[in-house]
């Protein structure tokens, strides 16, 4: 292996020999990053993908997906592909990597400025990773996506959880058995959408519901065959409350999974959309699957469940994630405490505290 050297700009570099006998210099900001770039360059060479100063963004994007994004969950891979194919390719695909400047990246971001902030983040992340790996492989000197930001939207903050009245209306109005069960698993167990879709009847016992898998979608009619959980922490057993037990007992068992289509097979993306439409039309307020999970978190908070236990029940990989949720809920509660304080300050309790 060629000698590793450190450049004046702080980057590490190593020269490798390609299959055609030519030498190629590969770069990285750390030794680990350099080794990853070397592996990617050799993998590309083995696959017959040539990279040079003439490489187009579109050519590198294909190579980047093959060399750097293998082994990803299907949903994540689809996210990267859609971000590039739908929003980036039309602006940058036919341009040479070496010719891309920050202004070109800004043009892409201006073109998606009206999209949700979440979608903008995905598009920007895709470009940042494409150009970062290109710099590691010596195709460009600097990542032109560095320092670029999204366009924030000025809009009122959306409600993230359901009130007690909204929860009651939801469960009273949703009549479709599978839709009711889905809502119950979100409200009373805090499961993520993918975890509910991956839940099998064998995962349910007297001790609770054990989350063993997550089901994402490859396409509108095909669930992903890989059902790995989001993190190790997602594997947990959630107790079954009385309300949830009632819904589980009433739910039809038509197949291996709790969420199935009319033939008893695992639910597809198109099938889920049809089911969720029934939920959305049953109430007069906005509701999403994630709001059900967030509502469960508020229930844990108001029930006095400590943050460490809540972390486990929610399947958070970091206690900070749970603490942030609890803090947000606490701030919302604090904004409604004025009447309580007014009653306290104007009542006998204050006099007793001061003079007693």
Q: Is the pLDDT of residue 16 over 90?
A: no
Residue 313, pLDDT score? 96
Single out the residue of 157, 156, 155, 174 nearest to residue 292, CA to CA. Answer: 174
Query: Per residue in 27-45, pLDDT tens?
Result: 888 888 888 888 877 777 7
Compute CA 292 distance to the chain's CA centroid, rounded to the nearest angstrom.
Answer: 16
255-279: per-residue pLDDT in tens? Answer: 999 999 888 889 988 899 999 999 9
Query: What pTM did the predictor assign?
Result: 0.62
In this model, does residue 355 exceed pLDDT 60?
no
As a residue count, the chain comes to: 356
Assess whether pLDDT exceeds 70 at residue 183. yes
Q: What confidence tens digit (pLDDT) does each residue in 198-210 have? A: 999 999 998 899 9
Confidence of residue 69 (pLDDT cuts 50, 70, 90): confident
Q: Quick one: 233 exposed, middle or buried, by C-beta within 10 A (0-12, 13-18, 19+)?
A: middle
Q: What is the pLDDT of residue 340?
A: 66
| Average pLDDT of every residue of the chain | 87
Tokens of 94: 């036919």
What local confidence, expressed as pLDDT, does residue 351 receive?
Answer: 45
Q: Which residue has the tokens 């590490």?
A: 12
Q: Is residue 350 very low, low, confident or very high in pLDDT (cuts 50, 70, 90)?
A: very low
> Which of 155, 230, 241 lies closest to 194 in space, CA to CA?
230
Q: Which domains does the chain have, with CATH numbers?
A: 5-136 (1.10.150.130), 164-334 (1.10.443.10)
pLDDT in tens, 132-145: 998 888 788 789 99
Q: Measure the CA–CA gap between 234 and 314, rounded to whole angstroms.
A: 8
pLDDT at 230: 81
Phi, psi of 123 (to 5 degrees): -65, -45
- The token duo for 248 is 């589980």
Region 55-64 average pLDDT: 92
pLDDT, mean of residues 155-169: 81
Q: Which residues contact 282 (CB under 8 A, 6 or more apart)?
A: 170, 173, 174, 175
Stated as kind and residue range, the H or E segment containing 178 is helix 177-189
Residue 51 has pLDDT above 60, yes or no: no
The residue that leads in pLDDT, 108 or 340, is 108
pLDDT at 221 over 50: yes
Angle (CA) 154-157-162 rounded to 5° is 155
β-sheet bridge partners, residue 103: none
Please give the pLDDT value at position 68.
87
| Cα 219 to Cα 100: distance, rounded to the nearest angstrom | 33
Beta bridge pairs of residue 238: 209
**Rounded-to-integer distance, Cα 27 and Cα 13, Å:** 4
> Which of the pair, 342 or 208, is modelled with greater confidence?
208
Q: Residue 313: CB partners within 8 Å, gap ≥ 6?
A: 190, 236, 238, 300, 305
């Amino acid at each position: 292996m060629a000698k590793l050297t450190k450049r004046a700009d702080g980057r590490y570099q190593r020269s490798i020999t390609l299959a055609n006998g030519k030498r190629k210099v590969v770069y990285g900001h750390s030794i680990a990053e350099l080794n990853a770039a070397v592996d990617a360059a050799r993998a590309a060479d083995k696959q017959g993908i040539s990279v040079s100063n003439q490489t187009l963004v579109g050519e590198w994007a294909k190579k980047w997906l093959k060399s750097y994004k293998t082994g990803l969950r299907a949903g994540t891979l689809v996210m990267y592909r859609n971000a590039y194919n739908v929003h980036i390719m039309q602006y940058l695909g036919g341009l040479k990597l070496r010719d891309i400047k920050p202004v070109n990246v800004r043009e892409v971001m201006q073109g998606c400025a009206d999209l949700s902030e979440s979608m903008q983040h995905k598009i920007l992340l895709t470009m940042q990773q494409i150009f970062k790996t290109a710099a590691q492989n010596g195709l460009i000197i600097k990542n032109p996506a560095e320092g670029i930001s999204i366009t924030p939207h000025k809009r009122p903050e959306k409600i993230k959880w359901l009130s007690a009245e909204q929860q009651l209306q939801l469960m009273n109005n949703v009549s479709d058995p599978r839709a009711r069960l889905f809502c119950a698993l979100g409200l009373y167990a805090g499961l993520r959408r993918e975890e509910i879709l991956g839940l099998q009847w064998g995962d349910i016992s007297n001790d609770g519901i054990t989350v063993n898998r997550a089901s994402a979608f490859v396409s509108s009619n095909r669930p992903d065959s890989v059902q790995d959980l989001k993190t190790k922490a997602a594997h947990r057993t959630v107790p079954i409350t009385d309300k949830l037990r009632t819904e589980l007992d009433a739910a039809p068992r038509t197949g291996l999974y709790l969420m199935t289509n009319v033939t008893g097979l695992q639910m597809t993306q198109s099938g889920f959309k049809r089911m969720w439409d029934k939920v959305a039309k049953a109430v007069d307020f906005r509701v999403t699957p994630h709001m059900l999970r967030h509502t469960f978190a508020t229930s844990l908070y108001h029930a006095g469940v400590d943050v460490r236990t809540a972390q486990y029940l929610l399947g958070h990989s970091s206690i900070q994630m749970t603490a942030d949720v609890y803090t947000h809920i606490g701030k919302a509660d604090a904004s409604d405490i004025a009447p309580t304080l007014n009653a306290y300050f104007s009542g006998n309790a204050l006099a007793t505290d001061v003079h007693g």
